Amino acid sequence: MFPVAVGAKAPPPIDSIETRQWINGRYVEASSDDTIQLYNPTTEEPLLRLRPSSQQDVDVAVQAALAAQPHWESLGSLAWAALFRKLAGLIRRDAAALVALESLSQGKPNTAPDAIRTAGYLDMISSQAFVCHGESTITTPGQLGITINVPFGVTAAIVPWNTPLLLSFVKIAPALLAGNTMILKPSERSPLSLIAVASLFKEAGFPDGVFNVVNGGADVGQMICRHPLIRRLSFTGCIRTGKLVSAAAAQSNLKAVTLELGGKNPSIVFDDADVGEAVRATEFSMVYNCAQVCMANSRIYVQRGVSQRFIAAFTERYTARIPADPFSEPTPPMGPVVDRRAYETIQGYIQEARRSGATIVDAGPSSLDHTRGKGFFVRPTVILDLPRDSAAAKDEIFGPVVSITTFEDDDEVLDMANDSEYGLYASVFTRDLSRAMRFARRLEAGTVAVNQTSPTILLDLPFGGMKQSGNGYEFGAQAIRDWTHQKGLLIRTG
């Protein structure tokens, strides 16, 4: 992989960047004549072109995975774990180059820790490969009952553009550590780090065909969802696409599906909270990756007794952030949003909130980088007095736009926090542990954090959504088990 220093102030050379699909242990050009144009979100300039995979390419990748699966399964947990530990070391070695690719194509700051966090996750999950075992029962006289976990065979993952490395490996690693092989489809908006990391599987010693990468947009995603030889699928993205994925999977071969479909995540600050820490934590949640994160706390509810102090401190801190070139010096806290479509969508929500009568607080024109006159830069924006029925209050904006609402008591804020079709992540700031535990049970969210907020998660704790934020879980030791069939074995003993 091309050499690059951590925090490098220039993007990697374009001619060093790989764009081809990875099938059966090597890079191969797609057979399609179409092309996908990638853009640099910092400059709005064309970056690279890549060819999307065709149905023929997807079929070849699936056949490679199918042929590789029996041998891969036979290697067993000890070998699987050793290979993933080696892969983790290679990702650490090339972390700067991988992050630079994400900065170039997606816009996140060039010191983002995603590659290092990915390597840490691989260390953790590989240690769990030995605990995916069955159970036994002797409660029926003359019978020994045993459950055994067996792989699905060929599996697939369709992953988003916002955190490509980590959100891919929380699917790849459990699937392979359960004895499956995999086809990965990165987002067509930010595929470069995942195309690059594919070659590290070869260097680490993974057999050819165990891991494959195909390129493309929604049409290639549908090829994967409908493929009759793919038996299990994991998807991360928006609700609308998740429903299409689920329908296509059901209509083809009823393949098992895990969906992680985003959030509109509430953070609740009570009047007994450490207000300074609540400001720091909730503001960072909206800074991290320019709030293009499914668990960003884009709805903040503050109890009236501390509301003026919180709003003043949060607004001053947040609107002082100036998005800039992710390769600039010093490294900025925020870069651009991913592309023009995202930029225009975010601006649309801000204007809709303004028309609804809300108060908009920002640091100036929400427009382009003042040093260039170009780039998909959105100024951090705070919305006050936002009506509950407005689109900005209900939809996942996926950008640096946060609403702050004042509340009086527990019942009122619980009603507001749960008034959403999403249920991914919630957080509570309070010194009252009994209140925190009460809210943890009553908040309709798959994860509830106390006196902290996103992007904090525990790699060894299951993560998943309620309501329309999805089904199934990732992270945690049970993630490997979820990529297996549980088979019952009956043995007559007398």
Residues 25 and 173 occupy one common structural domain: yes
What contacts 27, CB < 8 A, 6 or more positions away? Answer: 18, 20, 21, 198, 199
Instruction: Give the residue numbers spanning the domain of 439.
Output: 266-458
Instruction: Output the pLDDT for position 369.
Output: 44
Instruction: Output the pLDDT for position 6.
Output: 57
Does 110 reside within a domain? Answer: yes
Mean pLDDT, residues 305-319: 97
- Give 422-442 pLDDT, tens digit per residue: 999 999 999 999 999 999 999
Q: What is the pTM of this model?
A: 0.94
Our CA angle for 98, 99, 101, nearest 5°, is 70
CATH of the domain at 284: 3.40.309.10
Per-residue pLDDT band for 8 (boundaries 50, 70, 90) equals low
Residues 35 and 90 occupy one common structural domain: yes
Which residues are designated catalytic? 260
Provide the percentage of residues in the chain whose pLDDT is more than 70.
Answer: 96
Residues 226 and 291 occupy one common structural domain: no
- What is the spatial distance between Cα 457 and Cα 447, in angstroms, rounded to a whole number? 9
Residues 361 and 315 occupy one common structural domain: yes
- What is the spatial distance between Cα 268 and Cα 413, in angstroms, rounded to a whole number? 8
Residues 100 and 201 occupy one common structural domain: yes
Res 462 pLDDT > 50: yes
Does 373 reside within a domain? Answer: yes
Q: Which tokens hold the place of 421?
A: 């079709």
Tell which wins on pLDDT, 364 or 188: 188
Does 252 reside within a domain? Answer: yes
Residues 112 and 27 occupy one common structural domain: yes
Does 463 reside within a domain? Answer: no
Residues 183 and 299 occupy one common structural domain: no
- Range name among 3-12, 59-68, 224-233, 265-274 with the lowest pLDDT average: 3-12
Residues 257 and 270 occupy one common structural domain: no
Res 454 pLDDT > 70: yes
- What is the spatial distance between Cα 92 and Cα 86, in angstroms, rounded to a whole number? 10
Residues 214 and 338 occupy one common structural domain: no
Backbone angles phi, psi at 74, to 5 degrees: -70, -20
Q: How many domains does the chain have?
A: 2
Whether the Cβ atoms of residue 362 and residue 384 lie closer than 8 Å to each other:
no
Residues 481 and 393 occupy one common structural domain: no
Does 192 reside within a domain? Answer: yes
Per-residue pLDDT band for 368 (boundaries 50, 70, 90) equals very low
Residues 31 and 175 occupy one common structural domain: yes
Does 1 reside within a domain? Answer: no
Res 371 pLDDT > 60: no
Does 432 reside within a domain? Answer: yes
**In the 3-class helix/strand/coil scheme, how is the chain assigned residue by residue?**
CCCCCCCCCCCCCHHHCCCCEEECCEEECCCCCCCEEEECCCCCCEEEEECCCCHHHHHHHHHHHHHHHHHHHHHHHHHHHHHHHHHHHHHHHCHHHHHHHHHHHHCCCCCCCHHHHHHHHHHHHHCCHHHCCCCEECCCCCEEEEEEEEECCEEEEECCCCCHHHHHHHHHHHHHHCCCEEEEECCCCCCHHHHHHHHHHHHHCCCCCCEEECCCCHHHHHHHHHCCCCCEEEEECCHHHHHHHHHHHHHHCCCEEEEECCCCCEEEECCCCCHHHHHHHHHHHHHHHHHCCCCCCCEEEEEHHHHHHHHHHHHHHHHCCCCCCCCCCCCCCCCCCCCHHHHHHHHHHHHHHHHCCCEEEECCCCCCCCCCCCCCCCCCEEEECCCCCCHHHHCCCCCCEEEEEEECCHHHHHHHHCCCCCCCEEEEECCCHHHHHHHHHHCCCCEEEECCCCCCCCCCCCECCCHHHEECCECCCHHHHCCEEEEEEEEECC
- What is the spatial distance between Cα 373 and Cα 65, in angstroms, rounded to a whole number? 47
Mean pLDDT of the chain: 94
Instruction: Output the pLDDT for position 332.
Output: 85
Residues 448 and 480 occupy one common structural domain: no
Does 6 reside within a domain? Answer: no
- Give 126-171 pLDDT, tens digit per residue: 998 887 778 899 999 999 999 999 999 999 999 999 999 999 999 9
CATH of the domain at 209: 3.40.605.10
